[in-house]
């Protein structure tokens, strides 16, 4: 098997893990407070990534230590990408389905283009406007809103998920500066640690609620299994698989794989969480994925043109 095929398998595995994450989080939120869940998830992820960095160091891998002038930015990105992003995501999952949360998160590339257009005061391209409108229309189909009412719970959940999306965009913009200087695994471990320490302080308020939950023997195995999954598999292995695969198939191809995430989440949440799968929901997911692929293919074509110009 050649390197591109191995890379494709790694990216596909990562996308499947990321998609199941929403289902696992939804199950955990039935028993744990949001802040406690996010803290425990990234406490586990921080331990896993720290051990991984130590193992790599013993094998001879050299890591550039975080410079003094970058420590503040590492803390800020840990706050945005770990504490804020997953707090809003966890809160949103208390109000909306796993498939809808995944669908909104999948629209990050479109919202990133919109953010860049606003920040740099660019003219709104008709293609971008069409992609945004298609995405919004797809989300409304998934919400399955009738002509008489708008579900307040869905509205709150969507607003919280959009807060999550824009905090992730801020995280990626800030992290881009750091990724030029530091190894991605090492940087993620430091960001996880910073975010986890901030979450720990806030999560202390939930201790009286949490202790009785972990004394319920009948649900303890399921809780621990799901916590290990979201902490080690999703936050640790999923990221590593994605980076490994992306280095072999390229950023553009890896991004196209990610666009399938809402469909995978929709199918798994239907079977595991028993979330309804209506015709409107299927059509909405299809429209959003089509809009994402249109944006992805346009970026891929533009990148090819740039490479041709520099040859």
Each residue's pLDDT tens digit, 144-191:
655 445 678 888 999 999 999 999 989 988 888 888 889 888 999 999
pLDDT computed for residue 76 by the predictor: 94
pLDDT computed for residue 148 by the predictor: 45
269-292 burial code (b ≥16 CB/10 A, e <16)? bbeebebeeeeebeebbebbbebb
CA 19/CA 234 separation, integer angstroms: 9
Half-sphere exposure of 141 (CA within 13 A, CB side): 19
**DSSP symbol at 97:** -
Each residue's pLDDT tens digit, 194-204:
999 989 988 88
Cβ distance 113 to 171 under 8 Å?
Answer: no
pLDDT computed for residue 149 by the predictor: 53
Whether residue 311 is predicted with pLDDT greater than 60 in this model: the reply is: no
DSSP codes, 194-218: HHHHHHHHHHGGGHHHHHHHTT-TT
Q: Which two tokens stand for residue 13?
A: 């595995």
- pLDDT > 90: percent of the chain: 41
Tell me how crowded residue 214 is: count the other CB atoms within 10 A of its CB.
Answer: 13
- Length of the chain (residues): 311
Whether residue 245 is predicted with pLDDT greater than 80 in this model: the reply is: yes
* pTM for the full predicted model: 0.85
- Distance (Å) of CA 263 to CA 101, 153, 277: 12, 23, 11
Q: Average pLDDT of 247-266? A: 82
CA 114/CA 105 separation, integer angstroms: 15
CA 279/CA 142 separation, integer angstroms: 9
pLDDT computed for residue 307 by the predictor: 54
Least confident of 79-93, 115-129, 140-154, 193-207: 140-154
Whether residue 230 is predicted with pLDDT greater than 90 in this model: the reply is: yes
């Amino acid at each position: 098997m050649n390197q591109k095929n191995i890379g494709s398998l790694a990216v596909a595995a990562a996308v499947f893990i990321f998609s199941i994450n929403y289902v696992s989080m939804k199950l955990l939120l039935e028993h744990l407070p949001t802040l406690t869940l996010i803290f425990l998830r990234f406490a586990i992820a921080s331990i896993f990534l720290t051990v991984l960095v130590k193992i790599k160091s013993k094998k001879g891998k050299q890591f550039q230590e975080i410079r003094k002038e970058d420590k503040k930015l590492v803390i800020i990105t840990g706050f945005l990408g770990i504490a804020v992003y997953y707090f809003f995501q966890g809160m949103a999952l208390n109000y909306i389905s796993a498939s809808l949360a995944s669908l909104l998160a999948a629209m990050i590339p479109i919202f990133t283009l919109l953010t860049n257009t606003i920040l740099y005061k660019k003219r709104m391209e008709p293609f971008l406007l069409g992609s945004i409108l298609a995405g919004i229309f797809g989300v409304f189909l998934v919400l399955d809103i009738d002509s008489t009412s708008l579900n307040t719970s869905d509205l709150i959940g969507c607003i919280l998920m959009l807060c999550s999306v824009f905090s992730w965009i801020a995280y990626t913009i800030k992290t881009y500066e750091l990724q030029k200087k530091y190894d991605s695994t090492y940087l993620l471990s430091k960001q996880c640690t910073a975010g986890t320490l901030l979450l720990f302080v806030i999560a202390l308020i939930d201790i009286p609620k949490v202790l009785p939950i972990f004394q319920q023997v009948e649900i303890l195995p399921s809780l621990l299994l799901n916590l290990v999954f979201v902490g080690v598999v999703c936050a640790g292995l999923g990221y590593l698989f994605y980076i490994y695969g992306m280095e072999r198939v390229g950023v553009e191809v890896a991004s196209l794989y990610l666009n399938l995430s809402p469909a995978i989440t929709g199918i798994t949440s239907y079977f595991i969480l028993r979330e309804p799968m209506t015709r409107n929901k299927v059509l909405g997911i299809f429209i959003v994925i089509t809009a994402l692929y249109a944006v992805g293919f346009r970026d891929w074509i533009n990148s090819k043109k740039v490479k041709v110009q520099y040859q």
